[in-house]
Amino acid sequence: MELVDCSGSEAHQETPNKISRRGLIGGAVTALFLLKTSALTGVRLLAGQTPLRTAPACPLTPLKLACATAFLATGNTVQLGNALEHGEFLDRDEMFLSIVSKREHWVPGTGAYEWMSRFTPAKGEDALETWKIGFSLVPTSLVSHSRNGYRFAVYNEQWVMVTDENAIGYRAPRQAVIPDLSKLVRAADFPGAVAAND
């Protein structure tokens, strides 16, 4: 077998040259595109217009009442688990973190996934898109397995869903002013409340 010196062959020298030219041309095209985009964004800002990439999003589709009910039930489940294990209920932020820590368990296409995919704990009372959240820890409990209690509500323009440590959800028509949850003896005392399964 005879060894052939290929270092001088045209094919061997042409391949790196092609790659080099493509890289230079591709880089130049990318640089020109970015320069054009930056220039157009600057012109839009000077003209008082919103840059295209920060244009307002489409309006949100409101989450259904059933999704808010499922969110409330999930909160109750998290609270009950913590009370049985530690003897007390979580505050709102701890409950939110516990709920979101189970996010991978929800299957896309299900009702639970619909609300979970739009749940952002860091937004506080606005954590569930298109609904507001009210929450209050109370010093005494309605149940024997906890040192404290809670009142938890989700509401929109039409409905209020409210619960407490008894883990029964109640539904009421929305009032102009949501009562102070910390003053409710139990969720059933919310004005106009009926059990959600009625």
Residue 190 gets the label, from left (phi > 0), alpha (psi -120 to 50) or beta, of beta
Strand partners of residue 132: 155
Taking the CA of residue 32 as centre, how many other CA atoms within 13 Å lie in the half-sphere pointing to its CB?
A: 6
Instruction: Note the pLDDT of residue 93.
Output: 96
C-alpha separations of 54 from 60, 101, 120 in Å: 16, 30, 20
Instruction: Note the pLDDT of residue 63.
Output: 87
Domain segments of the chain as ranges: 12-53, 65-195
**The Cα angle at residue 152 between residues 107 and 125, in degrees rounded to 5:** 75
Question: Which pLDDT band holds residue 6 (cuts at 50, 70, 90)?
Answer: low
Cβ neighbour number for residue 129 with a 10 Å cutoff: 16
Please give the share of the chain, as a percent, with pLDDT higher than 90: 54
Q: Which of 158, 128, 160, 145 has the alpha carbon at shortest distance from 60? A: 128
pLDDT tens digits, residue range 7-61? 555 555 555 555 555 555 666 655 555 556 666 666 555 655 544 444 444 556 7
Structure tokens at 131: 């609904």
Three-class SS state of 62: coil
Please give the share of the chain, as a percent, with pLDDT higher than 70: 69
**H or E stretch covering 162:** strand 159-164
> Which residues have CB under 8 Å from 88's CB, separation 6+?
82, 146, 147, 148
pTM above 0.75, yes or no: no
Residue 122 near residue 133 (C-beta atoms within 8 A): no
**pLDDT at residue 136 above 60?**
yes
